[in-house]
Structure formats: C-alpha cells, structure tokens
Amino acid sequence: MKFNIFNQDALARVGELQFSRGVIQTPVFMPVGTYGTVKTMTPDELLALGAEIVLGNTYHLMVRPGEDVISHHKGLHNFMGWQKPILTDSGGFQIWSLSKKAKINDDYVEFDSPVNGDMIRLTPEKAMQIQDTLGSDIQMVLDECTHYPASKKEAESSMLRSIKWAHRSFDAFHALNQDNDAALFGIIQGGMFQDLRKKNLQQLMDLNFDGLAIGGLSVGESEEERVDVLESLTPEMPKQLPRYLMGVGTPIDIVKSVSAGIDMFDCVIPTRHARNGHIYTSEGLIRIKNAKYQKDTNPLDENCSCYTCQNFSRSYIRHLKNCNEILGSRLATIHNLFFYFDLMRQIQESIRKNEFKKFADAFIQGYQQ
C-alpha cells in the first residue's frame, strides 16, 4: 500500500491510497458489507455509484459461512464478486457488542456462536489468520473496544489489553504476509480520556503500522466528547499515515471529522437508513413513509443525478416502502450511497481548491440532520 497526500487545507487532507487492486481517493467513505455484501446492492451497482473499497467483518464471516468456504473460493474478493480493495474489521467491535456474553482476558476472547451455540475463541493471531484467508487489502488488529461510559481505570485496562493484542497482531500479520501489498492498521483506544488516547497513540507508533484507526467512538458518547477526542488526537498522529475513524458516519459527522484531519470513514447508516425509509438529501434527512409524500411527484432530491432520482418520485418510493417491496429498499439504498459518494467527491474537490472551510460551513448550515 502507498499513501499520497496531494493537498492539505488547514487540517483537511486530499490524497489517495494505492493498492494492486485499485486506487482509493481520500477522504473516502467505505460502505459496509458485513457478510460479504452491501445489503441489496450488486458489485456492479456499487462500482457505478462510485465505490472504491468496501468493508467486511472478520467475526461475522468466521461464523458464517466460515473461513473454509471462503478459502475454497480463494478469498473474499472472488467469493463476493468484488475485485476492488476490501477492508476487514478484526472483530473488536463485536467483542464490545457481545461483552455481556463473552469471556475476555489478555490471551483471548470466547463467546458462543449466534448460529449454533458453539464456543468460539478469537485471539489476535486467529484474527490475522482469518483476514489473511479472506485476502483483505486493509486488515485491522484485534482490539477491545472500550465500553461507554467507562471509568478511567476501566478505559486504561482496556487500552493496555488492546496494545498487547496490537503487538501480537502485528507479529502475526508480518509472519503471514510476505509477498503482497496488504496493509495493517493499528487502532487507538483509551475511551474519552485524552491522555490515555495520546499514550496509546505513542505506543502504537513504536510499531510500523501502515495506517492508524481511531476506535471506541460512536458507542454512545456525546458529539462534544467525540469532537474533543478527535481535536486533541489528530494533530499528534503521523502525517504520513492514513487516518481512519471507525463506525462514525452521519454527513455532518463526516464533514466535521474531515476538518479534524480524518481520511477514511465507514458506517452502516446510509444503507440501514435506506431500508428504514430515511433518505439523505441536499437539504437534510427525510422520512419517506410520512403521509405528506403520498402524492409528491418530486424526486427524492431535486439536486441529485442518481438513477433513483432520475426515474422515480417520492410518492412511488413511499408506496414501495409502505408495501415492504424489496425494490423500495434497493432504490433508497442506491440514492443514499450516491449521496454519500457525491459528498466525498465535493469534499475532495473543495480541499484541492483550498475552499474546504467555505464548503463545510455552507454544508453544515444548510443541512438538517
């Protein structure tokens, strides 16, 4: 992997990530394909919308269909029919979400399979081995996502475990990856405590990671807490490495985080919201199932050139959603993903022109969450 920064406007950066499978323009939004699919979308449709990378999940793919099945296909790219880059999360977020049912210590985490109840043991080495089998282009260390709220003692304990796992993940990754351009990202933890975050960053910088991610956000904290973490942390992060903010992804969140120096984003919001009838537009979020759209012949967004907006009305999308027709979710997903990819294109262009602050201020002022 190679990372180039072409221009910086204040803290906002525009650049590209280079892989043998393709080039990714940054800042980038990565749609989530947890089980090897971005829900309701085919790979060709994702490409047409502008996707350059998708995200998969090590934990879920390990549980179902299992690494043996994916290995039989010679990797996740072939299995899901997507030949552009893939990033896989290591399973750390699932440790957090399943923490009440999991047994966690410094050596491993154990939990019951949600499919058949079998005991699953995940170690840093196992997480890297599975990602190697998947053939991910960007792989993540196994970490423990600090719960919220957490005391400083709890956050520090979780952070110390994560750094131990980072070292083990790093060693396992390099033992497995000798002849490809796969990248390994470290993950910064430390809860809402700025001193712990900076300490963890320094610990991770002792290892030669290809990129750094900020984890443990979007877990229930306030926007003010999240912004404080980002604004204190990103100026300390190495400028030459890509910066990935995990799981944070409303349009306003993305714009504000780019202004803090973040390069990469993922979130289920645009696809999940689409399936629930929540539509992103240039003027804010609309709930298409509302009665006021029953006879609305306008497109979802008059400023949008996506397939959905060029061919269908709000009234028709509302009808499909209220009848639980699959096409309704597909058309809404096409639109929401197009909106996100177009937002990233506008962000990139504004940074190239040194006009990002002007763009960000206008977007935030005119957009209703």
Tokens matching residue 105: 């210590």
Spell out the residues 6+ positions from residue 157 whose beta carbon is closer than 8 angstroms to its own. Answer: none
The DSSP result for 35-60, as a single string, is: TSS-TT--HHHHHHHT---EEEEHHH
Q: How buried is 247 (Cβ within 10 angstroms: 0-12 exposed, 13-18 middle, 19+ buried)?
A: buried
289 close to 315: Cβ distance less than 8 angstroms: no
**Peptide bond just before 251 cis, omega within 30 deg:** no
Closest of 283, 230, 282, 281 to residue 253, by C-alpha: 230
Closest of 186, 179, 225, 218 to residue 202, by C-alpha: 186
Vertex 51, ends 45 and 56: CA angle to 5°?
A: 95
Alpha-carbon distance of 78 to 347, in angstroms, equals: 32
The DSSP result for 313-369, as a single string, is: -HHHHHHHHHTT-HHHHHHHHHHHHHHHHHHHHHHHHHHHTT-HHHHHHHHHHH-B-
Alpha-carbon distance of 71 to 85, in angstroms, equals: 17
76 close to 86: Cβ distance less than 8 angstroms: yes
238 close to 204: Cβ distance less than 8 angstroms: no
Q: Is 309 helix (H, G, I), strand (E, B) or coil?
A: helix
Which of 9, 137, 266, 301 is catalytic? The answer is 266
Handedness of CA 94, 99, 105, 110 (dihedral sign): negative
Tokens matching residue 156: 């520090």
Say whether 89 is catalytic: yes
Which of 9, 89, 132, 301 is catalytic? The answer is 89
Chain centroid, CA 273 distance in Å: 15
User: Would you name the residues annotated as active-site residues?
Assistant: 89, 266
